Structure 1
């Protein structure tokens, strides 16, 4: 049986990510340690186009991962994990990532395929200025600090910031407490 026939049978002639039945094709998941049939999945043109061109990604389309991430097929799990990582700035995607479980081998495969683009995503302030570790920033809005019982006031200076894995967040010390701040509410000093 050919790989394509195997995938059609396994998926029930549906996209293994979004369940669409239109314009299906075989997608070989990069960095696979497995045999060709185990490293491929059947996906629709919409999913394939957004995987190949992440700049044209429609985040709402990927809400389908809420279901497909639980697939027993490692190739589907890997692509779901990678897409959720690309969308981790979306609260719903981060929530799904937090509950998703991958076996060690599958997680190693998923991480091996992360593109170097992730490393080049910059943390930007409200004006689009790139932030670096050690910079000083100023709050442009009053922010309630949950769990600490105070409000960080607009105009507060935060010195010697640290960058996080999420390009939308930084860490800094406000009122003697180390907190995570959203970069869109900051201005580089």
Structure 2
């Protein structure tokens, strides 16, 4: 997209904060380009409070802006950013991109990468809430499933019950 077309779509303003000077096109693969000011193009702006502008930008109807805001909010270690990200209403197209972009890596207690179908061993007795039993240390859990949006959780079958297990309590076997 030509810069003039991009700026026209953006209303000659930064699509994050609304600033109007020194705008430039920023590529947001695979969605396209957005117009951002110099401050919003920085990884870490001098004023961290500047990122609060994303609260308003999260409501943009433009898919590329939605994806860029979603990604930036995921990089910020702030409770408000997580709350805004969780509350975003993404178009179906953008939701598909976030699922691809949001691939997480599951690691066991020793830092070994876990994959779908692996076998793990419990390294601690775990009280299973709602099932009235304790999964004992040393229990092998075969053919695990990965929880897609949480790198700290896997699912597996213990005593014929499908349970969620925290990765910090397992080691790959």
What range is the shorter-chain TM-score in?
A: 0.5 to 0.7
Distance 1:174 1:98, change over 3 A: farther
Q: What is the match of residue 6 of structure 1?
A: 8
Does 2:65 match 1:76?
A: yes
CA distance in 1, matches of 2:125, 2:50: 34
Gaps of 5+ in 2: 44-48
Gap change, CA 1:46 and 1:187, over 3 Å in 2: farther
Shift of 1:137: 1.5
Deviations 1:135-188 (A, max 9, x none): 321233454544445554544432221233244332101232212222233211
Cross-structure match for 1:35: none
- Counterpart residue number, 1:178: 162
RMSD of aligned alpha carbons:
4.3
More strand by share: 2
Query: 1:30 corresponds to which residue?
Result: 29
The corresponding residue for 1:42 is 35
Q: Choose from 85, 89, 94 the match for 1:101.
A: 89
Change (3 A) 1:112 1:172: closer
What residue in structure 1 maps to residue 108 of structure 2? 125
Cα shift at 1:48: 3.7
Q: Structure 1 pair 76/156, CA: closer, same or farther in 2 (3 Å)?
A: same
Unaligned segments of structure 1, at least 5 residues = 33-38, 51-59
Specify whether residues 91 and 112 from structure 1 end up closer, same or farther in structure 2 by C-alpha distance, changes over 3 A only.
Answer: closer
Q: Give the deviation of 1:9 after TM superposition.
A: 3.9
Q: 1:111 to 1:124 in 2, by over 3 A?
A: same
Kindly report which structure 2 residues correspond to 1:86-165, keeping only aligned pairs within 5 A, or say none: 98-104=86-92, 106-107=93-94, 111=97, 114=100, 122-165=105-148
Contact 1:138 1:187 in 2 (8 A): yes
Larger radius of gyration: 2
1:181/1:113 CA distance change after superposition, 3 Å:
closer
Q: TM-score, normalised by structure 1?
A: 0.57
Alignment partners' CA distance in 2, 1:168 and 1:16: 34
